[in-house]
Structure 1
Amino acid sequence: MGLYDREYSRETEPGFHVSAPSTLTTRLVLVTAAAYVAQLTLGVAFSANLALWSEWFSQPWRCYQLLTYGFLHDPNGIEHILINMLVLWMFGRELEHRYGKFEFAAFYLAAIVAAGAIWSVLETASGSEGVLLGASGGISAVVALFALNFPHRQVLFMFFIPMPMWVAALIGLAFDVNGAMDRSGNVAFTAHLAGALFGLLYYKFGWRLGGVFEKLPRGMPKRRPKLRVHDPDQPDDEDDLGRKVDAILEKIARQGQDSLTWNERRILEKASRRYQERRK
C-alpha cells in the first residue's frame, strides 16, 4: 500500500458519515452511559451484582466488583453520572492525547480498582458495611493527574468560577478530606481520596501500565499486501517512508504525541510535505 493510500492521506468524501467515537475517553463515557441504562432497565438485581460490597473479601470470587462498580451510578438521580462523565470528558481527552490511548485506559481502570480496594479496606477496618458504586474514584485520579500535568491551566470551578487547575484541585481535595473525616452522608469520600492518591503516585513515580493492553490481540490478522504496478512518478523511498510513518502513528497511539523524538517529528513533517506537493 502506497503512502497516499493510507487513511490519513485521503480526501474526505462529501455527504453524511457515521463512524465510531475517535477517542477512548468518549468510548468510556458511552460504555458508562450504557451501563446506566441497563441499571434503569434491569432493576436492583443488576446493580447489586456489579456494585462493590465492602465485605467482598469473604467471597473472593466477587473481586470483579472492584472494576464493575466504576461503571455504575445512582439510579435515583442523573446528577451523579452527568457530573462524573462531564469531568471525564473534559480532562480525559487531553490526558489520552498526552499518554496514549492504551496507557490512559490502563490508568483509568487501575485507578477505579485501587480506589475500590482502599475503600473496602478502610470500611472493613472501621467495622462498617457498605456498598460502593460510581466512577468518582477514577475521576478523582483523572483530575489529580490533569492538575499535575497542567497546573496553570485555567478552568471553571463549579463550571463558572475561573481559576488555575492546581487551585481547583486543592479545593476539591480539601472538600474530600473534610467529608472523609466527618463520615456523613452517602458520598464515599475515602474512595475519592484514594483515587487522587493513585493519580499522584502514578505521576510521581512515572508508572506505565499500558503494556497490558498492548499485548492483547487486536483485530483480524493482516492480509498479505496486494500486488500493484510501480508508479515511476512516486519517489523510490515511498514504501520505506510509509512504514516509518505507520510505526510512528502506532507509537503515538500507545504512548502519546509527547513521546516522539525530534527525528520522528521530522519524518512526519516530511510525509506531510510530500502529500501537500502531490495534491498540487
Structure 2
Amino acid sequence: MNEYRPGGFQILPPVVKNLLIINVLVYAATYILQKTHIVDLDYYLALFHWSSPLFKPWQIVTHMFMHDQSNITHLLFNMFALWMFGSAIENTLGPKKFLIFYFVCGIGAAICYSLVFTWENAADIQWFHQLSNLQQHQIVDQLVATKYGPKQAFPMVSPMLGASGAIFGLLFAFGYLFPDAMIYLYFFVPIKAKYFVAIYAAIELFSGIRNNPADNVAHFAHIGGMIFAYLLLLFWKKSKRFVRY
C-alpha cells in the first residue's frame, strides 16, 4: 500500500461497523438517561481508579464505549479514526484477530493509565484510605454531586473514559503495517504513516510528562495503547501467528 486517504464509508468491515454502532448508541443512551435524570452511566461504566469506591471491575472494558457528553468531538474524532485506521487493519488481520487487538489495546491503555495515575497521586490515595469508610463516602458523594469536582482538587474521583487508548493502538498498528502509506492531514497535507505515528507519540509523551493540571486528556492511556499494540504485533510476528482470521 503506497497511499491511504479517507474517501468515504464504502469500506466498512463488520467489526469496525459494529463498534461504531455500539459507541454511538451508548453515547445517545448516556445523553438521554442523563437529561431525563434516570441514571448517569458515567458512574457505572467510565473507569475509576481501582482504589476508588466508584471502581467496578467491568469498567476496564466499558470505559472504551463511553465518551465526554460535554464535547461531542471526543466521540466524532475517535469514531472517524476507528473507521480510517481500523478498516485497513481489520481487512489485514481479519475480524477475530482485529477484535482481540482492539480490546487488548484498550485494556492495556487502561492499565498503563492506572499505573501512572497511582504513581502521580500516591499521596492523595494514601490520605484517602486513612479515612473511615463514612468519611470516604461523604467525600465521594460531595464530589459526585458536582460531577466529580475539579480534577486537580481530588483526581481519584475523576473517571477516564473513551476509546482513545484503543484508537492509538490502531494508529500505531497502521504505522507498523503500512509505514510508507500516505496519510493526508486535513485531507491535503501528505505525510508517511510511520512519521505521523512517531510525531504523534512524541507529542503524547511530552504532554503526559508535562502533566498540565488544566489538560483533561489521559495521555498515558494513549501511550499505553501504543505500547500494547507494539507488544501484541511483535508477539504475533515472533510466534508466526500473523495470519488473517
TM-score clears 0.5? yes
Q: In the superposition, relative to structure 1, how do residues 61 and 188 fare at CA in structure 2: closer, same or farther (>3 Å)?
A: closer
Aligned residue for 1:18? none
Quick one: distance in 1 between partners of 2:186 and 2:110? Answer: 25
Q: In the superposition, relative to structure 1, how do residues 207 and 33 fare at CA in structure 2: closer, same or farther (>3 Å)?
A: farther
Aligned residue for 1:32? 23
Per-residue deviation at 1:93? 1.2
Quick one: distance in 2 between partners of 1:36 and 1:80? Answer: 11
Aligned residue for 1:114? 108
Aligned residue for 1:134? 162
Aligned residue for 2:227? 197
Per-residue deviation at 1:124? 1.5
Aligned residue for 2:62? 68
The TM-score, its normalising length taken from structure 1, stands at 0.64
Contact 1:140 1:196 in 2 (8 A): yes
Structure 2, gaps ≥5 residues long:
1-11, 122-154
Per-residue deviation at 1:148? 0.4
1:144 matched to 2:172: yes
Contact 1:147 1:165 in 2 (8 A): yes
Quick one: distance in 1 between partners of 2:217 and 2:185? Answer: 20
Among all aligned residue pairs of Structure 1 and Structure 2, give the percentage whose two residues are the same amino acid: 29
- 1:39-86 per-residue CA deviation (whole Å, 9 max, x = no partner) reads 1111162112100002x2466971110010010111011111111110
For residue 193 of structure 1, what is the amino acid of its counterpart? I
For residue 182 of structure 2, what is the amino acid of its counterpart? Q
For residue 143 of structure 1, what is the amino acid of its counterpart? L
For residue 26 of structure 1, what is the amino acid of its counterpart? K
Quick one: distance in 2 between partners of 1:179 and 1:207? Answer: 31
Quick one: distance in 1 between partners of 2:236 and 2:243? Answer: 13
For residue 32 of structure 1, what is the amino acid of its counterpart? N
1:103 counterpart (90, 97, 101): 97
Task: Report matched runs for 1:246-257 at 5 Å.
Answer: 255-256=243-244
- 1:149-183 per-residue CA deviation (whole Å, 9 max, x = no partner) reads 00000111354421100111111111101110111
Contact 1:152 1:164 in 2 (8 A): yes
Quick one: distance in 1 between partners of 2:47 and 2:85? Answer: 25
Contact 1:53 1:131 in 2 (8 A): yes
Quick one: distance in 2 between partners of 1:29 and 1:171? Answer: 27
Task: Report matched runs for 1:10-29 at 5 Å.
Answer: 23-29=14-20
Quick one: distance in 2 between partners of 1:179 and 1:201? Answer: 23
Contact 2:47 2:55 in 1 (8 A): no
Q: What do you get for the CA RMSD once the two structures are aligned?
A: 2.3
